[in-house]
Chain A
Amino acid sequence: GENVEQHPSTLSVQEGDSAVIKCTYSDSASNYFPWYKQELGKRPQLIIDIRSNVGEKKDQRIAVTLNKTAKHFSLHITETQPEDSAVYFCAALPGGSNYKLTFGKGTLLTVNP
């Protein structure tokens, strides 16, 4: 089955700096890669996603890049703010499944004022 590795597990940055979180996946047929943000005690919320026919997607201060050859994708947050502090999860949808997302273990991002 699909395996998703996420790094780093914790990340601390200064307000205004950029943050990058990386994920690798094992199933070359995976075709959909969402990123979820989970604030402490809250529900995971989709913040951005990318499909396998696209190499990069941007939404204001967040962007995701996908390298299908290397089987990795990354979340980029620019001009970080304290409210960006949360746990971020990447996920991959295997090519043989309509719904069974495989999640990474999460990255705790702390943005220091």
Chain B
Amino acid sequence: DAGVIQSPRHEVTEMGQEVTLRCKPISGHNSLFWYRQTMMRGLELLIYFNNNVPIDDSGMPEDRFSAKMPNASFSTLKIQPSEPRDSAVYFCASSRTVRTYTDTQYFGPGTRLTVL
């Protein structure tokens, strides 16, 4: 199994541009998570999908951020317009079920986003 796949691995863009991050969860996993990692705030959950349906988006910082999961094998996180304070590493993670107590969250390699 290739694990969780994310693309691109690095993204450098200018303020105001649209950024789309992509994730392919592990096959057979029903739960997908988007996290953001910064030095100041550490790892924060942005949004959680279960069976392709967004269940909890309380961590999405503002309306500039949106996420979709059109099918079980693909999800996107979009930032429009991007701002320098969005610079961070964005991780996608997936798990077999929603129950983290019993089913580990497996992280992808992350996308390092730099907004100039």
Contact = CB atoms under 8 A, between A and B. Distances in A.
Contacts of A105: 42
Given A44-B91, A99-B48, A100-B45, A93 B110 contact: no
B106 to A, nearest CB: 8
B98 A98 contact: yes
B71 interface: no
Interface residues of B, number: 22
B99 A98 contact: yes
A101 B93 CA distance: 12
Give the size range of A's interface with the partner.
Answer: 20 to 34
Contacts of A98: 98-101
B54 interface: no
B24 to A, nearest CB: 14
B107 A101 contact: no
Interface in A85-113: 89, 93, 98-101, 103-106
Contacts of B105: 46, 99, 101
B108 interface: yes
B107 A93 contact: no
A103 B99 contact: no
Interface of A: 31-32, 34, 36, 42-46, 49, 51, 89, 93, 98-101, 103-106
21 contacts: A32-B101, A34-B104, A42-B109, A43-B91, A43-B107, A43-B109, A44-B91, A46-B106, A51-B101, A93-B101, A98-B100, A99-B48, A99-B56, A99-B98, A99-B99, A100-B45, A100-B48, A101-B45, A101-B100, A103-B42, A103-B44
B75 to A, nearest CB: 15
Given A46-B104, A103-B43, 10 more contacts: A32-B100, A43-B4, A43-B110, A44-B91, A49-B104, A99-B48, A99-B56, A101-B105, A103-B42, A103-B44
